[in-house]
Structure 1
Amino acid sequence: MVQDKHMDTPTQRAWSWHKQGLDGSLEGSTSAEIFTKAGWARSVGGANPYLTLFSRAGIRRDVADADVAAVRIHELPTARGCTYVLGADDFAWALTLGRAAADASVKILDKLGVDRREIDELAAKTLALLQDAASNGTGALDPKQLRDSLGDAVRSLGEEGKKKGASTTLPTVLGMLQAGGRIRRVPLNGRLDQQRYAYTFWGLEPAPETTEQARATLMERYLGWTGGATLKQTQWFTAFTVAQTKAALAAAQAVEVDGLWLLPADTDERENYTAPREEKIQLLAGTDALFLLRRNAASHFAQDDQDRQLLTQKLALQADLPDHPIVDRGLIIGLWQYDPGNKRIAHWLFNEPTTAVMHRIKEVEAFIRDDLGDFRSFSLDSPSSRQKRIDAINAA
């Protein structure tokens, strides 16, 4: 273990903030560069990818959507089998990390009595159908169009299948083809925050990296995004085994400092880092990479705010934030939700508001109103489902 001067908690928060590019250091970057330098954006049908880009580089929705349409950025299944929005340079190797989840779905079908030959035949027919659609200009096909065209090749798996999350054989085949880079899942209206999809032929070139090299690359990226993480945190994000984690850390030449694993290039910078004195306010999604990569939202609350709660939940005890945070140099100073009925941000500040805080709230409020129309946390989020939390924030 490398020893250095111990970094106090406020400086550690600001260091993570800096590594995430939330201090303005990523201004002028493209969408793809943001996801490469600050971390992939968790999507789950919510608006986090858009706010990720706006908070770091002021990128508006029309630019992000154009990047999606041009496949400069894309939502793909990767680490832990979860979907993230990432840049084109990462597509091929990142997909290799999501294949285990696709393989697990195939194993479920096997337990339901579906022979591998049947799966492969359906995959071949699906791929041919999407190739034809791409070549004749039909475009992407949604799941209903695929089922109708594939007919009896898609088998219903009955009640037992529904219990295991596989009502038919088609979703597993689509996941398998997507994990192999042979097809893409595209949003029907081109937006990242609306979870209705169609599928199109892709034919992505396979990654030249081995699985071991892809794991090492992810570890290197992850430690760069976080500015340092514990062994447990790296394993949560990557889902690597202990042996795989140790091998990836060694390949990335990571060093342990202050209980965290860091990239060698970050050790000196971290030791000499000084937190900025001036406020730098950001409104982030609860699933922003600043918190989600390490699931350490509790460490971003000041000591005096550790006992604060909203409704029945003590905020610092939540592994994942139930509301969106207002943050200053890595410190959570309040919470917010968007109220579409009143076209405003409902907010709760733990201390007296400053001019900088109120100015940023108005900026993000205008961005959501003008670009997004609403700010959903995930696919099933709706104004009615979050009204109780909006009311509680207003009351607080």
Structure 2
Amino acid sequence: MAKASKADSGEQHPATAPEATTGKLRAWWAHRQWLDGVHRGASAAEVLTATGWARSVGGAAPYLGLFARAGLSREAVDAAVARLEVHELPSARGCTYVLPAADFALGLAAGAAAPAGELAAAEKHLGVTRDEVEKLCLAIGRALAGTGDVPQEPAAIRAAVGDAVRSLGEAGKKRGLSTTLPLALGLMQSRGQLRRVPVNGRLDQQRYGYVGWDQPVAGDAVDLARRYFSWAGPASLQHFRWFSGFTAATAKRAVAEAGMVPLPGRSDGSGLLMPPELVDAFAGFTPPAEPYYTLLAGIDGIHLLHRDLSRLVDPADAVRPLPAGKAGRSFGGEADPQTHVVLDRGRIVGFWEYDPERGEIVLQSFVSPDAALRAAVARTEAFVRDQLGDARGFSLDSPKSRAPKIAALRAAAAAAPAAADDDDDG
């Protein structure tokens, strides 16, 4: 594959390239993530195609992200899921994301290694054979063929396939695998032979049924690199490795063949890369002068595509204690936010959680609350209260487990009701 020249890519010599300041980078990332308020009314598929796959762990993150970017209601998102315009699939690193239909084939290809690895581990440690799992896959396929589009829960599938499922006893339970059924279901999902459907149509829970599917699986590491850097660039090779789960050699080759170029105007050794077609747009980009606040889940793509929290956190905020965290632990020392976050032009400027008992958002702001921030909180609070009922961070999150964080956020907000905003462009 021919490499892009400097003339083709718009790459400038570092001596003449506009400085890529921290403030500009953050604002650009927020702009590319559609966190600037200019894409209201876009569809769920359009949002996910442009900004990247939304991590789903049985919490509210996909809903919060789509609401923040396009003002989408829960009903609109659920309808898009029902129409298969978007769907939750095992993809990068074998983790579940919500993907647009255009990326179903690539997402499945990106996640194919995970169930294969689980089967290999079961062969090694539990005496499972590939042949028995393949036979079980065939039995599941026959069982689902007779049920049409009606999702079948795992208990019903197990009853339908009978002795094709084998118990793995105490040894299996210790490894989190009580029978061979999950191995077969995982393989069939990765092959596009079945899909997992939330039983009530919602993405913020983890009770599923399965229906047969005939989804092609296609795409390679280069395809994923192109998609990733279109969402996340500028990003480093290490950032891409985190997202993809690829080895260093595979990731390096994919990024090179995808034609990524160094970010102009950055000489700090960060190794940031971006698509050549975006270089001129970045050079001409001016960060907005006025704040624009969005309330997001802690695992939103603005963070999780890179999983490099320091990009989004000012030094003064990095030393803040975690709400209800262990003594000595600070915000900047975490791999991921331990609460939901407030973002302004790419900078994290607050923590928040939802208190379902009072039907309100509890906010600890790092900046002096203004009308724009209060309006953003009010919009998100109404969305969560009226459409979601709660804003769980993940499947096991609950009002009870969240109570210490909520109390800590209330205490911090009461102690500093008008925190100073020491905005540093970097």
Match of 1:385, as an amino acid? S
* Counterpart for residue 177 of structure 2: 166
Measure how far apart 1:158 and its partner are: 0.8
Measure how far apart 1:6 and its partner are: 3.0
* Counterpart for residue 250 of structure 2: 244
Q: 1:222 aligned to 208, 222, 228, which one?
A: 228
Task: Name the CA distance, whole Å, in 1 between partners of 2:25 and 2:217.
Answer: 39
Task: Name the CA distance, whole Å, in 1 between partners of 2:192 and 2:137.
Answer: 13
Native 8 Å contact 2:243 2:306 kept in 1: yes
**2:121 is the alignment partner of 1:105:** no
Measure how far apart 1:351 and its partner are: 2.6
What is the DSSP-based 3-state SS (H/G/I as helix, E as strand, rest coil) of the residue aligned with 1:347? Answer: strand
What is the DSSP-based 3-state SS (H/G/I as helix, E as strand, rest coil) of the residue aligned with 1:309? Answer: coil
Deviations 1:99-120 (A, max 9, x none): 1001011112212212222111
Q: 1:46 aligned to 35, 49, 59, which one?
A: 59
Q: 1:85 aligned to 98, 113, 134, which one?
A: 98
What is the DSSP-based 3-state SS (H/G/I as helix, E as strand, rest coil) of the residue aligned with 1:338? Answer: strand
Measure how far apart 1:295 and its partner are: 1.1
Question: Unaligned 5+ residue runs, structure 2?
Answer: 1-5, 413-426
* Counterpart for residue 402 of structure 2: 386
Give the total of aligned pairs: 388
* Counterpart for residue 302 of structure 1: 314
Question: Unaligned 5+ residue runs, structure 1?
Answer: none
What is the DSSP-based 3-state SS (H/G/I as helix, E as strand, rest coil) of the residue aligned with 1:133? Answer: coil
Task: Name the CA distance, whole Å, in 1 between partners of 2:157 and 2:94.
Answer: 23
Task: Name the CA distance, whole Å, in 1 between partners of 2:343 and 2:215.
Answer: 39
* Counterpart for residue 130 of structure 2: 116
Q: 1:129 aligned to 143, 160, 170, which one?
A: 143
* Counterpart for residue 415 of structure 2: none
Native 8 Å contact 2:108 2:217 kept in 1: no
Native 8 Å contact 2:106 2:224 kept in 1: no
Native 8 Å contact 1:298 1:318 kept in 2: no
* Counterpart for residue 144 of structure 1: 155
* Counterpart for residue 187 of structure 2: 176
Measure how far apart 1:25 and its partner are: 3.5
Task: Name the CA distance, whole Å, in 2 between partners of 1:301 and 1:247.
Answer: 31
Deviations 1:344-364 (A, max 9, x none): 000011232101000110000
Q: 1:254 aligned to 227, 250, 260, which one?
A: 260
Bigger mean CA offset, 358-367 vs 146-155 = 146-155
* Counterpart for residue 195 of structure 1: 206
Task: Name the CA distance, whole Å, in 1 between partners of 2:365 and 2:130.
Answer: 56
Match of 1:299, as an amino acid? R
Measure how far apart 1:14 and its partner are: 0.6
* Counterpart for residue 37 of structure 1: 50
Q: 2:37 aligned to 24, 28, 36, which one?
A: 24
Measure how far apart 1:163 and its partner are: 2.0
Measure how far apart 1:12 and its partner are: 1.1
Match of 1:125, as an amino acid? A
* Counterpart for residue 64 of structure 1: 77
Native 8 Å contact 1:78 1:94 kept in 2: yes
Native 8 Å contact 1:298 1:319 kept in 2: no
* Counterpart for residue 332 of structure 1: 348
Task: Name the CA distance, whole Å, in 2 between partners of 1:216 and 1:205.
Answer: 18
Native 8 Å contact 1:15 1:227 kept in 2: no
Task: Name the CA distance, whole Å, in 1 between partners of 2:255 and 2:198.
Answer: 36
Deviations 1:41-92 (A, max 9, x none): 0001011001111000001000000011111100001111111001000001
Measure how far apart 1:303 and its partner are: 2.8
Measure how far apart 1:26 and its partner are: 2.8
Deviations 1:176-232 (A, max 9, x none): 00000010000010000011001011111343x4xxxx2112111111111211111
Measure how far apart 1:253 and its partner are: 0.8
* Counterpart for residue 284 of structure 2: 272
* Counterpart for residue 238 of structure 2: 232
TM-score (ref. length: structure 1) = 0.95
* Counterpart for residue 26 of structure 2: 13
Task: Name the CA distance, whole Å, in 2 between partners of 1:76 and 1:242.
Answer: 25
**2:304 is the alignment partner of 1:292:** yes
Percent identical among aligned pairs is 45
Measure how far apart 1:297 and its partner are: 2.1
Task: Name the CA distance, whole Å, in 2 between partners of 1:48 and 1:100.
Answer: 25
Measure how far apart 1:251 and its partner are: 2.3
Deviations 1:219-272 (A, max 9, x none): 111111112111111111111112211221122210122320110012121122
